[in-house]
Structure 1
Amino acid sequence: MSDVIELNEIEALADYQADWQRLLKVTPGGSFFRSLEWLQVYWKHFAADQKLRVLIVVDRGEVTGIVPLCVRRIKSKYGLCRILTFPFDDWGSFYGPVSASQKTTLCAAFNYILHSRRDWDLIDLRCVDSAGFDGGETEQALHSEKISFETLLWCQTAYVDLKQDWDQYLRSRSSRARKTYLCSEKRVQQEGKVKYLRYRPAGAENGEGDPRWDLYDQCEEIARQSWQGRSTTGTTLSHASVAPFFRDAHERAAQAGTVDLNMLYVAGRPAAFNYNYVHEGLVYSLRMGFDPRVSIKGAGCVLMGRMIRDSMQRGDRILDIGPGSLAAKKNWYTSVENSYRYVHYSATSVTAKLMQLSHQFADWYRDRFANESTDQGTVTDYSKFSATWR
Structure 2
Amino acid sequence: MLTTTELNRIEDFDAVRATWHQLWAQTARATFFQTPEWIETVWAHYHGPQKLRVILVERRGEIIGIVPFCVRTVRRKVGSLRMLTYPLNDWGTFFGPIGPQPGTAFRVALRHIRSTPRDWDLIDLCWVDEAASEFLEVGLAMREARCGFLARPRMEVRICRMNGDWKSFVDGKSHNWRRQMRRDLHQLEAAGEVRLLRYRPEAGGSGAEPEHFEIYQLCEEIAKKSWQADAESQSTLCSPRVRQVLLPLHRQAAALGMLDVAVLLVGERPAAFFYNYAARGHVYGLRMGYDPAAELAGAGKILLYQMIEDSFRRGDVEYCFGPGRQPYKDRFATEMRHAYSFRHYARGSFRSQLLQLRERVCERIMSPQALIDKGLVT
Per the shorter chain, which TM-score range? over 0.9
Alignment of 1:33-182 (within 5 A): 33-46=33-46, 48-132=48-132, 134-182=134-182
- Residues 33-76 of structure 1: CA deviation (Å, up to 9, x unaligned): 11111101110211631111111111111111111111111232
| Code of the aligned partner of 2:160 | V
Matches within 5 A, 1:245-324: 245-293=245-293, 295-324=295-324
Superposition map of 1:184-199 within 5 A: 184-199=184-199
Change (3 A) 1:190 1:264: same
Indicate the residue corresponding to 2:352 in structure 1: 352
Q: Hey, what does 2:373 align to over in structure 1? A: 381
Does the 8 Å CA contact 1:162/1:316 hold for their aligned counterparts? yes
Moved more, 127-136 or 252-261: 127-136
**Contact persistence 1:219–1:273 (CA under 8 A):** yes
Query: Is the partner of 2:117 in helix, strand or coil?
Result: coil
Once the two structures are TM-superposed, the CA of residue 248 in structure 1 deviates from its matched residue by: 0.7
CA distance in 2 between counterparts of 1:135 and 1:82 reads: 24
Specify the SS of the correspondent of 1:381.
Answer: helix
**Distance in 2 (alpha carbons) for counterparts of 1:294 and 1:195:** 18
Q: Which amino acid aligns with 2:280?
A: E
Residues 193-231 of structure 1: per-residue CA shift (max 9 Å, x gap): 2221111111117x9884521111010111111112102
Unmatched tracts of structure 1, length 5 or more: 373-378
Does 182-191 or 252-261 show the bigger shift?
182-191
| 1:371 aligned partner | 369
Aligned partner of 2:220 in structure 1 is: 220
Can you list the C-alpha shifts for 1:75-111, whole angstroms capped at 9, x where unaligned?
Answer: 3222321111111111111111112111110111011
For 1:22 and 1:245, the matched residues in 2 are separated by 26
AA at the equivalent of 2:239 = H
Q: Which amino acid aligns with 1:337?
A: R
| Distance in structure 2 (CA, Å) of the matches to 1:79 and 1:292 | 42
Change (3 A) 1:294 1:253: farther
Alpha-carbon distance in 2 for matches of 1:73, 1:383: 19
Measured in 1, the distance between the counterparts of 2:349 and 2:156 equals 31
Q: What SS is found at the alignment partner of 1:331?
A: helix
Q: More deviation in 259-268 or 129-138?
A: 129-138
Structure 2 CA distance for partners of 1:133 and 1:290, relative to 1, 3 Å: farther
**Residue 294 of structure 1: how far off its partner (Å):** 7.1
> What is the SS of the residue equivalent to 1:27?
coil
Change (3 A) 1:102 1:311: same
* Superposition deviation, residue 145 in structure 1: 3.2
Does the CA-based 8 Å contact 1:102-1:138 persist in structure 2? Answer: no
Question: For each residue in 1:9-40, what CA deviation from the matched residue of structure 2 results, as whole angstroms up to 9, or x when unmatched?
Answer: 11111211101111111112210011111101
Kindly provide the amino acid, as one letter, of the partner of residue 164 in structure 1: G
Superposed CA deviations along residues 165-217 of structure 1, whole A, max 9, x for unmatched, are 11111122233322222211212223222221111111117x98845211110
Distance 1:251 1:164 in 2: 33
Aligned to 1:376: none
1:32 equivalent in structure 2: 32
Alignment partners' CA distance in 1, 2:133 and 2:311 = 20
- RMSD across aligned positions (CA): 2.0
1:20 maps to 20
The structural deviation recorded for 1:135 is 4.3
Give 1:247 shift: 0.6
> Separation in 1 of the partners of 2:229 and 2:79?
35
Question: Bigger shift: 234-243 or 292-301?
Answer: 292-301
- The answer for the alignment partner of 1:375 in structure 2 is none
Whole-Å Cα distance in 2 between the matches of residues 179 and 322 of structure 1? 27
SS of 2:309's equivalent? Answer: helix
Partner of 1:326: 326
Query: In structure 2, what is the equivalent of residue 4 of structure 1?
Result: 4
1:232 CA drift (Å):
2.1
Report the Cα offset of residue 148 of structure 1.
1.5
Query: 357-366 or 340-349: which moved more?
Result: 357-366
CA distance in 1, matches of 2:136, 2:326: 24
Letter in structure 2 aligned against 1:371: Q
1:304-350 deviation digits (Å, cap 9, x = unpaired): 11111111111111110111133332211111111110011112111
Deviation at 1:158, TM superposition (A): 0.4
CA offsets, 1:218-255, max 9 Å, x none? 10111111112102213211111111111111000000
* TM-score computed with the length of structure 1 as normaliser: 0.91
CA distance in 2, matches of 1:160, 1:134: 22
For residue 79 of structure 2, what is the amino acid of its counterpart?
G
Unaligned runs of 5+ in 2: none
* % identical aligned pairs: 35
- Residues 252, 183 of structure 1: CA spacing in aligned structure 2 closer, same or farther, 3 A cutoff? same
Rounded Cα–Cα distance in structure 2 between residues aligned with 1:252 and 1:137: 32
2:160 and 2:304 map into 1 onto residues whose CA distance is 11
Q: Does the 8 Å contact 1:208/1:257 carry over to 2? A: no
